[in-house]
Chain A
Amino acid sequence: MTEANSDIAEYSLRLGDDALILAQRLCEWCADAPLLEEDIAIANVGLDYIGRARMFLQYAGELTGSSEDELAYLRDSAEFRNLLMVELPRGDFAFSMVRQYLLDEYESLFFAGLKQSKDANLAGIAEKTLKEVHYHLRRSREWMRRLALGTEESHRRSQDAIDELWGYVAEFFESDEVEERLVGLGIAVERRDLEQAWRASVGELAAKTGLMVPDDDLRQTGGRSGVHTEHLGHLLAEMQFVQRSYPGLKW
């Protein structure tokens, strides 16, 4: 495999892992949402993420000779490449919704960039994904307003969630050698360039809803190089249980 192909496989794997791990967290809301309409909406978003995970993992698998299921079910924690934020436990409804919002703002910028990728497969997945992200962002912005402006309790829970999640934002905009090489080829998105626009959007919503943007002291990173939180191992233990207990079978 050429260096470029190996980089593209790694890149696709990272984006697949982001989607897969968040999908798993969304699945945890099944039959547990605050109202039936949200059970349906969360499942909708979850289905988009599973679909996205499959496309990216299939592409990574094509380049490396693995199946999507081998990649999802037979790698251990250190081999996962997702952003740390998506693996955090789902928390209360405010935590899940604020996380979704922060990611939606990021993804709307990221996939608009990836749509321009010189790699036709990545550009194609990005184009499909971007349409979904726009719908996700409309929904999560609306929820942010409801929660931040609703009641004292919903405001407090939203602020707590932002405070808790903010330490994982730095990783959105952190690059490494693999991505730099792909940026040079016009294949990957230069994520550092997204930060200003992201901060402007989030800052504007925070200002309108009376939420305080936390300071940037805490910078938890490591997901892209396989150094994760303690939470990921538990998530994988659950997700991979059947494949690990009965290796090599068809399901």
Chain B
Amino acid sequence: MERKGYFGPFGGRFVPETLIPALEELERSYQRAKNSRKFKEKLNYYLKNYAGRPTPLYFAERMTRELGGAKIYLKREDLLHTGAHKINNTLGQALLAMEMGKRRIIAETGAGQHGVATATVCALFGLECVIYMGEEDMRRQKLNVFRMELLGAKVVPVSSGSRTLKDAINEALRDWITNVDTTYYLLGSVVGPHPYPAIVRDFQSVIGEETKRQISEIEGRLPDYLIACVGGGSNSMGFFHPFFEDKEVKFIGVEGGGNEKGNAASLCEGKIGFLHGSKTYILQDEEGQIRSTHSIAPGLDYPGVGPEHSFYKEVGRAEYVKVNDREALEAFEILSRLEGIIPALESAHAVAHCLKLAPRCPKDTIIIVNLSGRGDKDISEAMEVLRSEQT
């Protein structure tokens, strides 16, 4: 049997002793909630009536015709409340926190999407909310900072290290170590110490479960390919996982290939190590120091990846590729023009890989791209880059 908290050789619980009892408590509480009909009903109620589930599985007819190959479907997580898949997880974990009697919620955020989704559910349930965010990210994402504050959250600037997402996670963990009795740490991706990767995966699996039902209804069969972007890897894991046993369905995870200055492709370019409590693929130097990363999509800009993805890579269940900034921007424009859907720059990475793959496939091939978020948050960044290229 597998070691507890591991996916093959990956995962585990590499954290200071102070947190071990808290993680054990979290694991017990989660097991209870997972088996509780009442908990599931409550979560489903909010997913449906508050977040807007189920999301459509949309046949991208023009894009399919233009590319002249596989049939392309988009799973529309961008239509959820707050504009991305993140709310699936924050609703689940906020309900879990309340089951555990914790009313102070902390979270990390990079670009602010998870921070906004956390602040949103805290407002909904009347919970205290503290969001850690790197100073550098706060500067780049002023609007999201304001959005979180508007929702009643306190945003704490993180000035240590590279002042980005990884440092925000360090600081959130430090807060948790200090206030562990009263505080629930609402992690935003399938990373961190056990049981977080499993909890976040389970709450995001609604994406894949719905997709499976929808495509079976529309096409009467399962798809050939699932494509999703991978930063920490929560939207892709939630999308892939329900298809794990369906070996005919191929998974492709798309990482941030960045530019000549750097990348965020932990699975393609990293090596095995330990970060934020788990054993997984990590971008690091020869000395084991964590490398700074770059991607035009802030949600992909992270030097680690969920341990279950490392496992999928190891056993060959999923293929991981990278798409660079340039290709992601092109896909961002193409999807906008062909389908009237402006994707998040993260999701544009998945679209970009689809643009490469679809024309090479026979017409009866089915590809589903998980459109994890909408692009409103990226408009000004994209405008700057695209305009500067025109001049």
**Chain B associates with chain A:** no
Residues on A lying within 8 angstroms of B by beta carbon are none
Residues on B lying within 8 angstroms of A by beta carbon are none
